[in-house]
Amino acid sequence: MNLNETYNWYSQLIKPTWAPPAWLFGPVWTLLYVIIFVTLGIVLYKVRRKEYPVSVLTPFALNLIFNFAFTPIQFGLRNNLLGALDVLLVLGTLVWLLGSLWPHNRNLVYLNLPYLAWVTFATVLQLTITFLNL
């Protein structure tokens, strides 16, 4: 994936006026990945100690798979429609994950509210970009 070509492709897409500047995504995702991996560490520890059921790992694993797949799909394949589908899966598995954590550790759910807010925003943004570029 040539970064210059990818940047040129993305910069030529029609985007809504409320789309954030490209430079903002790196710092936001850096912070969110810290939150995600702190949460994952705690969940793995609690599952290992049998304090949480193993089943909470399913939405977590799927969320990470869909999350990591977004960049290769959106920017590698340059496919807005598949990117939209993927980000919907990220949002869906995140809601599932937070729902499965709620009975065990509400503080972890609260910790992940910025992740939920950003993914919700990113979903609306991706769906809008997809629609604008049909």
Mean pLDDT throughout 76-89? 97
| Residue 99 in this model has a pLDDT that exceeds 80 | yes
Mean pLDDT throughout 55-59? 97
| Residue 117 in this model has a pLDDT that exceeds 80 | yes
Judge contact between 103 and 86, C-beta under 8 A: no
Question: Considering the chain, what percentage of its residues have pLDDT values greater than 70?
Answer: 99
Cα distances from 56 to residues 67, 73, 106, 124, in angstroms, run: 17, 26, 14, 26
- Tell me the average pLDDT of the chain: 96
pLDDT of residue 5: 87
pLDDT of residue 1: 62
pTM of the complete model: 0.94
Cα distances from 125 to residues 6, 81, 108, 130, in angstroms, run: 18, 12, 26, 8
pLDDT of residue 106: 98
* Half-sphere exposure for 45 (CA within 13 Å, toward CB): 7
Mean pLDDT throughout 10-22? 95
Judge contact between 96 and 59, C-beta under 8 A: yes
